[in-house]
Amino acid sequence: MILNVSGRTDIVAFYTEWFMKRYEEGFVDVRNPFYPKNISRISFKNVDVIVFCTKNPIPIVDKIEKIKIPIIFHITLTSYKDDIEPNVPNKSMIINAIKQIANKIGKDRIYIRYDPIFLNNKYNVEYHIKAFDRMCSLLEGYTNSIIVSFIDDYKNVRNNIDVLRLKKFSIKDLREIGINFSKSARKYGMSVQTCSEENRLTEYGFICRDCVTKEIVKDVSGKEYTKKWRARNNKNCSCVEMVDIGVYNSCKHFCKYCYANYDERKVNQNFLKHDVNSSLLIGNINEYDVIKERIK
């Protein structure tokens, strides 16, 4: 089993203490978001790889050595300010944490996501080109791979349209991003790729590859995984199947483009329901719940 921690919320940033308690106790419970009475119990003895997805890896840096399961990190590092990412820590602190993690687990297990790219009067093409080059220069020697994606039409994006003030990408915009991002990545010894994108940018030197491939998993775990992850319902995604232990509407970053949050009031309510000693991320087990152990 491959554990995704997490595409539904930023467990590392806000719930690391809970995750480590679950790891130490040997299991975690996950409530089905569509059938809430159904709970999957996941034993860490059945987990071959943990994929941490986060904007803020700082809380877990000093706990990595305690985790004996192979780890991959996907760390989102974009150049947006507080108007777009109001609760994301200072980016220099995040970069320092990335460097510490790379020294612990190796740079080949760290994937940096410049994600998502959108355009408006403030965050224009020139801004992104400069920010991307700066990011690559600071991370030289600490990662091999940068993953790029473009903003999608999520409910939360529509809710924040007055803040985002999006402009459409022109062919010229995509060309400038493709040429310059490829140039920066090469300059600092990295590859740059798209995943699940209509605009793949391969004509400018980008790699088109899934985020978590069977080859990556085999390299870190020695095990073969061939089943594709259909949970995302994305025809362009062929990542290997993962089990997400997160909960939607529970991330306190409040990024204006987020797909996993679409109701900030609900986020605050869920955050108050978090019990660090519970086997569930949000809330507790009750008498009506049906718990079934998930093996794979």
Output the pLDDT for position 173: 97
Token reading at 272: 């108050």
| Entry pTM | 0.95
Q: What is the pLDDT of residues 150-166, one digit of tens each?
A: 999 989 999 999 999 99
Q: What is the pLDDT of residues 38-75, one digit of tens each?
A: 999 999 999 999 999 999 999 999 999 999 999 999 99
Output the pLDDT for position 231: 56
Output the pLDDT for position 15: 98
Output the pLDDT for position 237: 75
Tell me which long-range contacts 169-175 makes (C-beta under 8 A, separation of at least 24).
169/119, 169/199, 173/119, 173/125, 174/199, 174/201, 175/204
Q: What is the pLDDT of residues 195-240, one digit of tens each?
A: 878 888 999 999 998 899 999 999 999 999 988 776 555 666 778 9
Output the pLDDT for position 239: 87
Output the pLDDT for position 236: 67
CA 247 to chain centre: 14
Output the pLDDT for position 295: 87
Length of the chain counted residue by residue: 296
Q: What is the pLDDT of residues 245-264, one digit of tens each?
A: 999 999 999 999 999 998 99
- Taking residues 9-33, report their average pLDDT: 97
CA 67 to chain centre: 19
107 band by pLDDT with thresholds 50, 70 and 90: very high
Is 60 exceeded by the pLDDT of residue 148? Answer: yes
Output the pLDDT for position 232: 54
Pick from 85, 200, 187, 73: which is nearest to 129 by CA?
A: 187
Output the pLDDT for position 210: 87
Is 90 exceeded by the pLDDT of residue 288? Answer: yes
Q: What mean pLDDT value characterizes the chain?
A: 95
- Taking residues 7-28, report their average pLDDT: 98
CA-to-CA distance for 150 and 18, rounded, in angstroms? Answer: 32
CA-to-CA distance for 60 and 15, rounded, in angstroms? Answer: 10
Q: In 3-state terms, what secondary structure has residue 136?
A: helix
